[in-house]
């Protein structure tokens, strides 16, 4: 498997921000991935780095990036996919087979592993609606297969987040449908993203904060004046207040400072504490450590 030392991670991230990682491992199969995790059960695991902010000061440790794990296969209405496969690619493959259930993934930049990990969803669909089971690595139990109920899905979360479980592959159950109807829904989802969310040509990490129960983080942020906020090379997207754009070589500190400013504005106006959807990797920069304590309530 490919192993890189002092790897510059910046260009792999959606934020186009980040320093050097001491060691990055790129497994190419579930077996290779499992071997890595057996040696280092607590190793941080990432997919397409589309939901990640990596410190500009880098990370003094080892991480796994799963983007070389791209295998998938269909069996009747079931599809099984490796964790590193992009959700959008699997969505397109299912559409070609006349199978519905993955249309919501078409506009996602992330990978299957990350989408299962966070129970990704949009447009009334989510991972928890279609997942049959996932092959995972548990830090204490080793390789395990968890069914839908064992995954303990909730809004943007699963047992994987609670117990630091890595998703290796996932099996989904889809439904036969007319290809034209599937394509129509996928086109609508793509058009919605284009109208409401920034293009990935503008470096961003998707939604910054989770929606509080019964509320919209974007609405709360907009009504709190967040669309005018900026910090260094980072600013809030003018068309949606729950997105941050790296418009001028922003550092990770710039982005964290802006996230804290956004969070504080909503807390002051509504007494609601927004929780980040974006994950952070770092630890060398003391100011960033302080900002993360505020953001993640550590």
pLDDT by residue (tens digit) across 268-279? 999 999 999 999
Q: pLDDT tens, 248-269? A: 999 999 999 999 999 999 999 9
Tell me how far apart the alpha carbons of residues 1 and 3 are, in angstroms, rounded to a whole number: 6
Query: What pTM was computed for the model?
Result: 0.89
Check residue 199 and give its pLDDT.
Answer: 83
pLDDT surpassing 70 at residue 298:
no
Task: Name the residue with tokens 């910054």.
Answer: 208
Domains along the chain?
A: 2-65 (3.30.43.10), 74-132+145-196 (3.30.465.10), 217-296 (3.90.78.10)
Residue 40 CA, distance from chain mean position: 22
At residue 40 the predicted structure's pLDDT band, cuts being 50, 70 and 90, is: very high
Catalytic residues: 156, 207, 277
Residue 106 pLDDT? 94
């Amino acid at each position: 498997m490919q192993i890189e030392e002092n790897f510059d991670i910046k260009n792999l991230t959606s934020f186009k921000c980040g320093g050097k990682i001491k060691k990055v491992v790129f497994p190419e199969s579930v077996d290779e991935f499992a071997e890595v995790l057996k040696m280092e059960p607590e190793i941080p695991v990432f997919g397409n780095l589309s939901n990640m902010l990596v410190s500009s000061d880098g990370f003094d440790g080892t991480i796994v990036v799963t983007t070389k794990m791209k295998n998938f296969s269909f069996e009747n209405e079931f599809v099984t996919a490796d964790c590193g496969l992009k959700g959008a690619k699997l969505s397109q493959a299912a559409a070609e087979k006349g199978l519905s259930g993955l249309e919501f993934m078409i506009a996602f930049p992330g990978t299957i592993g990350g989408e299962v990990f966070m129970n990704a969803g949009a447009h009334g669909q989510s991972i928890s609606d279609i997942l049959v089971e996932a092959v995972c690595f548990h830090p204490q139990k080793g390789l395990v297969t968890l069914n839908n109920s064992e995954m303990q899905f909730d809004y943007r979360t699963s047992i994987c987040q609670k117990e630091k479980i890595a998703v290796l592959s996932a099996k989904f159950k889809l439904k036969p449908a007319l290809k034209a109807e599937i394509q129509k829904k996928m086109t609508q989802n793509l058009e919605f993203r284009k109208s409401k969310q920034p293009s990935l040509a503008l470096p961003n990490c998707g939604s910054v904060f989770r929606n509080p129960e019964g509320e919209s983080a974007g609405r709360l942020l907009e009504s709190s004046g967040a669309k005018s906020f900026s910090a260094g090379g980072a600013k809030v997207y003018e068309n949606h207040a729950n997105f941050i754009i790296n418009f001028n070589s922003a550092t990770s500190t710039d982005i964290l400072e802006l996230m804290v400013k956004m969070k504080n504005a909503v807390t002051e106006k509504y007494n609601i504490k927004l929780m980040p959807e974006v994950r952070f990797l770092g630890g060398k920069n003391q100011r960033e450590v302080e900002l993360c304590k505020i953001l993640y309530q550590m």
